[in-house]
C-alpha cells in the first residue's frame, strides 16, 4: 500500500478515536447522572484493579482517587465555600492556591478511606439519579457501591459550570443524612482555625492532617 495512504488512513483512524473520546467526555459532563456514574464506576473499578489499593493500602487508593476522580470535580468551588467567600477572597493568590491544594488532598484522602472499606472483587453499583429540569444548575445524585465488605453510600452535589457539570460537595453518609455534607462539616472548623491563626493557620492545619494520613 502507498506509504502516504497508510499514513493518511492511520491519521483518520486516530482522529475518529479522539472524536469518540471527546464526545464521550462531553456527554459525561453534559448530564450529571452520567457524570457521577462514570466517575464512581471508574474510580472503584480502578482501585480494585490496583494490587496495593485492593489490599487496603489507603495511600495507593488515594492515588487512584486523585488520578481518576478529580477530573470530574470542582474543588476550587468546594474550597471557597468551606473557607467562606470573604476569607478566601481576601487571601493572597499564593495562600488561596495552598488552601485549595491542601484541602483537595484532604478530600481525596477522606474519599480514599471510605473507598478502602469496600472489599472483594464482585462490586455492584446503584445510582439515585437527579431529577433534572431545563433550568437545573445545582443537583444531587446518590450512589451505593456494594462489595463483600461494607457498602459505601455516597451522595454528590453537582453544579453546572462553563465546563459542564462538576461535583463540588460529597456526603459520605449518603443522601438521607442531611447534615453530613463535607462543606457543612468543615466550615466551622475552618472558621475557628482562621480566627486563631489566619489563612496561614488554616494551611498549617490542613497540611498537618494530610501528613498524618495513612500513619
pLDDT digits 0-9 by tens, 166-188: 999 999 887 777 778 999 999 99
Mean pLDDT on 118-147:
89
Q: Give me the number of domains the chain comprises.
A: 1
Residue 155 included in any domain: yes
Whether the model clears a pTM of 0.85, i.e. scores above it, the answer is no
Locate 188 and state its grid cell: 466551622
Report CA-CA distances (Å) from 85 to 92, 104, 121, 157, 200: 13, 17, 43, 19, 16
Residue 55 included in any domain: yes
- Give pLDDT, residue 37: 96
Residue 167 included in any domain: yes
Residue 169 included in any domain: yes
Residue 52 included in any domain: yes
Q: Domain of 48?
A: 32-211
Q: How confident is the model at residue 20 (pLDDT cuts 50, 70, 90)?
A: very low
Residue 198 belongs to domain with CATH number: 3.10.450.710
29 within 8 A of 164, measured Cβ to Cβ = yes
Beta partners for residue 144, in sequence order: 126, 153
Give the residue with greater pLDDT, 81 vs 28. Answer: 81
Residue 141 included in any domain: yes
- Give pLDDT, residue 149: 65
- Residue 136: pLDDT over 90: yes
Which of 68, 24, 72 lies closest to 46, judged by CA? Answer: 68
56-109: pLDDT as tens digits: 899 999 999 999 999 999 999 999 999 999 999 999 999 999 999 999 999 999
Residue 86 included in any domain: yes
Residue 104 included in any domain: yes
Mean pLDDT for the chain?
85
Place of cell 459505601: 152
Which of 119, 130, 118, 84 lies closest to 103, judged by CA? Answer: 84
Strands (E), 51-209: 124-128, 138-146, 152-161, 164-171
Amino acid at each position: 500500500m502507498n506509504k502516504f495512504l497508510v499514513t493518511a488512513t492511520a491519521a483518520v483512524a486516530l482522529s475518529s478515536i479522539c472524536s469518540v473520546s471527546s464526545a464521550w467526555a462531553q456527554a459525561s459532563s453534559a448530564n450529571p447522572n452520567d457524570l457521577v456514574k462514570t466517575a464512581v464506576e471508574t474510580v472503584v473499578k480502578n482501585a480494585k484493579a490496583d494490587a496495593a489499593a485492593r489490599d487496603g493500602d489507603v495511600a495507593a487508593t488515594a492515588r487512584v482517587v486523585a488520578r481518576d476522580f478529580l477530573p470530574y470535580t470542582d474543588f476550587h468551588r468546594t474550597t471557597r465555600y468551606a473557607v467562606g467567600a470573604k476569607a478566601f477572597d481576601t487571601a493572597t493568590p499564593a495562600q488561596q492556591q495552598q488552601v485549595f491544594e491542601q484541602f483537595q488532598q484532604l478530600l481525596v484522602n477522606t474519599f480514599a478511606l471510605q473507598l478502602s472499606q469496600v472489599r472483594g472483587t464482585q462490586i455492584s453499583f446503584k445510582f439515585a439519579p437527579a431529577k433534572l429540569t431545563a433550568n437545573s444548575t445545582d443537583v444531587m445524585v446518590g450512589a451505593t457501591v456494594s462489595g463483600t465488605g461494607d457498602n459505601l453510600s455516597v451522595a454528590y452535589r453537582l453544579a453546572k459550570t462553563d465546563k459542564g457539570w462538576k461535583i463540588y460537595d460529597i456526603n459520605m453518609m449518603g443522601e438521607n443524612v442531611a447534615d453530613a455534607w463535607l462543606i457543612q462539616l468543615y466550615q466551622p472548623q475552618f472558621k475557628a482555625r482562621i480566627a486563631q491563626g489566619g489563612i496561614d493557620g488554616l494551611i498549617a492545619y490542613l497540611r498537618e492532617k494530610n501528613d498524618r494520613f495513612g500513619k
